Structure 1
Amino acid sequence: MSFTPVPHQFDPVARFALDPLLSIPEFVLEQMAVLLVDTLGVTAGAAVLEVGQIARDFAVEFHAANSARHSATLLFDGRRCAMPGAAWALATQIDNLDGHDGYNPTKGHIGCALVPALFSFAEQLPNLTGRQALTALAMGYEVAARAGVALHATASDYHTSGAWNALGVAALGARLRGQTPEVLRQAMGIAEYHGPRSQMMREIASPTMLHDGSGMGALVGVSSLILAERGFTGAPAITIEGENVTHIWADLGHDWTIPRNYIKPYPICRWAHGALEGVRVLMVEHGVIASDIERLEVATFAESAALYPGLPTTTSEAQYSLGFALATLLVHGRIGPEHITGAGLRDPQVAELHARICVREEPRHSAKFPAGRWSDVTAHLRDGRVIRSGDVNARGGPEAPMPEADIRAKLTAMAGHVLSDGRIDALWDMKQRLLRPKTLFSELAELVTPACDR
């Protein structure tokens, strides 16, 4: 397919990404700090997962750096490896405890790749302040959001997040390292060309540790910038410079997407969260418990209905299983890492209830995707009553935000099994401290780079 870039269409993207005086509204930075801390909680919680251990060991053994200036420390581990390897390992780790933030129009996740890249780049910048780091991260989120929307608008396949969040990683690194527009343009071109165009629905059908591709997105994004700095060429990126995506980038720096990112209440694929909210409504408003239910009927959008239908035997399958998530919430009243790992996968009460859950696609819910994650749930109770949730959207986004107390509780739910209470409290406090002008980003790094406490 031939492609001719639109002249100067990249210029405003470069100005936005590299402007040393870039001004970001305070409410955006505040939300950015919350998303960052929330992601770090998921990073910690995933540190003991088998996939996290495999990824970090692999990075240390096969992504060795030739010098300290090319290396980064693995979060909640303490070992060092090359910067691209560190970003890959940590993004893979986060991706496999599916509790990280996301942005509906991209049908995927930004911070999963950008947060590990931020720490990889920032380790070589001892004077970087918290506000500078949040500004760079926010810029990267805004670029990645539009790259994701542009890819979905111009490609027939539904690709994993790594296919497009790699561009946000490259932009983040270029800003932090003070690069030129030309280096950024080449890096974005490399990142788009090599970003993993992996098909998301293959992973949905057969869940594995590949998950949403953000590990490779992080590796490609970091590598692309470093290559471009050395003269490797790769421009143009058609999802930025193509004539058919001009409108997607026109509001960069004016319409801030970060406040529209969602925070997940549970470490489960976002597609399940509409139905999970329906079950939560039944539990909270009607007092329904697992033993009450004779049959649970779920009407949801097509992608949600396509989630793994069987009883999961692995953590990957559990996070992509709608029925398992619903049964777990009803049995335990919550879903934490302990419910999707180890003995949690063999819970007889969950298995028994899972067999009584029926899922079907509902066209009216499918019509609202990806802007929303709508579902409705009908519970047929043993006493003959029928209780309906009504149409509900997933909780945690701007349409149904989580209270701050719930976000704080989630931090403990995600990381409490690996971090001390004092360390979790200190991590939560960083969402405010990072906004103060004199706080160094290294203060946060010093908190999250040592190995887990438990």
Structure 2
Amino acid sequence: MALTVSKFIQTLRYQDIPENVLAVMRRSLLDTIGVAAIGTTTKISGIVKEFARTQMPAGVDSAASRLLFSGLTISPVGAAMAGAFTIDSIDAHDGYSKVKGHAGSGIFPAVIAVIDDLTRQGKEVNSQDLFVALTIGYEVGYRSGLCMHGTVPDYHTSGAWTAVGAAAAAAYLLKLDEEQIRHAIGIAEYHGPRSQMMRCIDHPTMLRDGVGWGAPSGVSAAYMAQLGFTGAPAITAEGEDAKPYWDDLGERWEVNNTHYKAYPVCRWAHPAIDAVHDLMINNRLVSDDIERARIKTFHYATRLAGHAPKTMDELTYALAYPFAIMAVHGEIGPKQLQESILQDKEVQRISLATELVDDEHYTAISIDKRWADVTLYLKDGRELQSDARTPRGDPDNPLTDKEISDKFHLLADDIIGVKRANKIEQLIEEVNFDLTQLLILITDKC
């Protein structure tokens, strides 16, 4: 018999989590910390850190948490918010295609904020508690998101359902009872940001994927429920419409559908980026060989467009421009995350010469995966076409552990130093580790 959501949250123990699920959580933890480190260099992170410092400070004798990689102590709600915006400012974090979004960018900073508050109070929290909380946050968040996308017409951002996952994780850490847990996820769902994703795709700004308000909505919901605040039943977790999405809770794990990004841009662009990378390598091409290009892909991806982005936010939600970056530079990493890339003449040329084709077949099948193919039209008259592609990093085409490690170091080493990055990775690889030490490593100033 399937568990209720409240009972699942209240009773899950580290020993109950299958080893393959724990392996996903360890990969996600390392991956997300790397994204958080480089995220501290963005304008978004700087603005939100100052906002949280001035508007969400920790009061005297009140809850307090350290903000990721800053050395600042603020309220747990503020730490969750600023942390989520920081991670979301670099679109390189984990996700799940069928749920159309990302868990780690909201769940991780929410969990760390609550854990740091508890440890400052002298409460005992260990590394196993961290992994249980993360697992609960991802699993409940994913299922809430699947229900949301399956029962409402609007395409909501990840913040809408990571709010529920964050509340679930925080409720576990705060040791709420079943009734309090039910209220916590109800409050989080009601107050969570039901922001429309395609508005940010059509008009890219610092709003991003909604997790900047999803994470603090979840954290505040758990603290409020602890004090006796009540919430309406969460419609993405209770009732007949929700039942199919929760029937096998505790028996089958949605966490195993987590994917990882090879590039720090919207995943909808990744199959085309992978395709042009391979065409360039396999045919020993340089960008000057290309006269023009065509990308056939699913509808949402063509909405990314972005032939001539003027800001890094526009670049993040673009297709043609990151495609052109790969064609010209052969990589999309920290070097290409500098604003100077927006003035790269050769990238501009390739981008403006790239046609986007909205393909009905790819749209129909881009549910669990994201599909595209690429044709390069060369100056010598040749036409080179790729096979239909889905992104690397999906569960059936995963990044290796070494690739996850290499990505972490690529993003983190220059920001926090190689020695510190190595220590973070070594701790996470241990079965049980000193959580206090990890907290110091990920909250001390870069």
Instruction: Name the TM-score, length of structure 1 as normaliser.
Output: 0.94
Q: Work out which of the residue numbers 301, 304, 307 in structure 1 matches 2:304.
A: 307
Farther-moved stretch of structure 1 (11-20 vs 140-149):
11-20
What does residue 5 of structure 2 align with? Answer: 13
Structure 2 letter corresponding to 1:122? I
Q: In structure 1, list runs of 5 or more residues that go unmatched.
A: 1-7
What does residue 353 of structure 2 align with? Answer: 356
Q: Deviations over 1:208-252 (max 9, x none)?
A: 000000010001001111111111111201111121120100111
Taking the aligned partners of 2:266 and 2:140, their CA distance within structure 1 comes to 23
What does residue 382 of structure 2 align with? Answer: 385
- 2:315/2:322 contact within 8 Å kept: yes
What is the percent sequence identity of the aligned residues? 39
Q: Deviation of residue 25 (structure 1)?
A: 0.7
Matches within 5 A, 1:410-425: 410-425=407-422
What does residue 64 of structure 1 align with? Answer: 57
Taking the aligned partners of 2:159 and 2:173, their CA distance within structure 1 comes to 21
- 2:306/2:315 contact within 8 Å kept: no
What does residue 266 of structure 2 align with? Answer: 269
Q: In structure 2, list runs of 5 or more residues that go unmatched.
A: none
Secondary structure in 1 matching 2:293:
strand
Taking the aligned partners of 1:112 and 1:261, their CA distance within structure 2 comes to 13
- 1:207/1:308 contact within 8 Å kept: no
Structure 2 letter corresponding to 1:12? T
- 1:100/1:112 contact within 8 Å kept: yes
Q: Deviation of residue 20 (structure 1)?
A: 5.1
Matches within 5 A, 1:40-79: 40-67=33-60, 69-79=62-72
What does residue 449 of structure 1 align with? Answer: 443
Structure 1 letter corresponding to 2:96? Y
Structure 2 letter corresponding to 1:49? T
Taking the aligned partners of 2:436 and 2:51, their CA distance within structure 1 comes to 26
What does residue 242 of structure 2 align with? Answer: 245
Structure 2 letter corresponding to 1:29? L
What does residue 221 of structure 1 align with? Answer: 218
Q: Work out which of the residue numbers 311, 323, 328 in structure 2 matches 1:326.
A: 323
What does residue 366 of structure 1 align with? Answer: 363
What does residue 5 of structure 1 align with? Answer: none
Structure 2 letter corresponding to 1:15? K
Structure 1 letter corresponding to 2:441? L
Matches within 5 A, 1:30-45: 30-45=23-38
What does residue 137 of structure 2 align with? Answer: 140
Taking the aligned partners of 1:67 and 1:345, their CA distance within structure 2 comes to 45
Taking the aligned partners of 1:364 and 1:281, their CA distance within structure 2 comes to 23
Taking the aligned partners of 1:20 and 1:339, their CA distance within structure 2 comes to 42
How many aligned residue pairs are there? 441
What does residue 111 of structure 1 align with? Answer: 104
- 1:187/1:235 contact within 8 Å kept: no
Q: Deviation of residue 67 (structure 1)?
A: 3.6
Q: Deviations over 1:349-400 (max 9, x none)?
A: 2112111111111111111122101100011112222111110101111121
Secondary structure in 1 matching 2:59:
coil
Whether 1:99 aligns to 2:122 is no
Structure 1 letter corresponding to 2:36? T
Q: Deviation of residue 288 (structure 1)?
A: 2.9
